[in-house]
Amino acid sequence: MEKYILEAEEALLHTYNRFQIVLDKGEGVYLYDLNGKKYLDFVAGIAVFALGYQNQEYNNALKNQIDKLIHTSNYYYNVPAIEAAMKLKKASGLDRVFFTNSGAEAMEGAIKAARKYAYLKDGKKDHEIIAMEHSFHGRTMGALSVTGNVKYREPFEPLIGHIRFATMNDFSSVLKQVNDKTCAIVLETVQGEGGIHPADYGFLKQIRELCDKQDILLILDEIQCGMGRCGTMFAYEQYEIVPDIMTTAKALGCGVPVGAFLMKEAVAQSSLTSGDHGSTYGGNPLVCAGVSKVFDLFESQDVLHNVKEVGAYLSKKLDDLMEKYDIIKFHRGIGLMQGLEFDIPVGEIIQKALSKGLILINAGPNIIRFVPPLIIQKKHVDEMIELFEQCLSN
pLDDT level of residue 393 (50, 70, 90 thresholds): confident
Contact 249, 100 (CB under 8 A): yes
Confidence at residue 394, expressed as pLDDT on a 0 to 100 scale? 67
Average pLDDT over residues 267-272: 97
Q: What pLDDT is recorded for position 94?
A: 98
Q: Average pLDDT of the chain?
A: 97
Mean pLDDT of 160-182: 97
pLDDT confidence tier of residue 279, bands split at 50, 70 and 90: very high
pLDDT at 101 over 80: yes
pTM above threshold 0.95? yes
pLDDT digits over 111-121, tens only? 999 999 999 99
Which residues face 165 on adjacent strands?
A: 131
* pLDDT tens figures, 302-357: 999 999 999 999 999 999 999 999 999 999 999 999 999 999 999 999 999 999 99
Mean pLDDT of 132-149: 97
pLDDT for 219 equals 98
What domains appear along the chain, each with residue ranges and CATH number? Answer: 2-54+302-393 (3.90.1150.10), 69-300 (3.40.640.10)
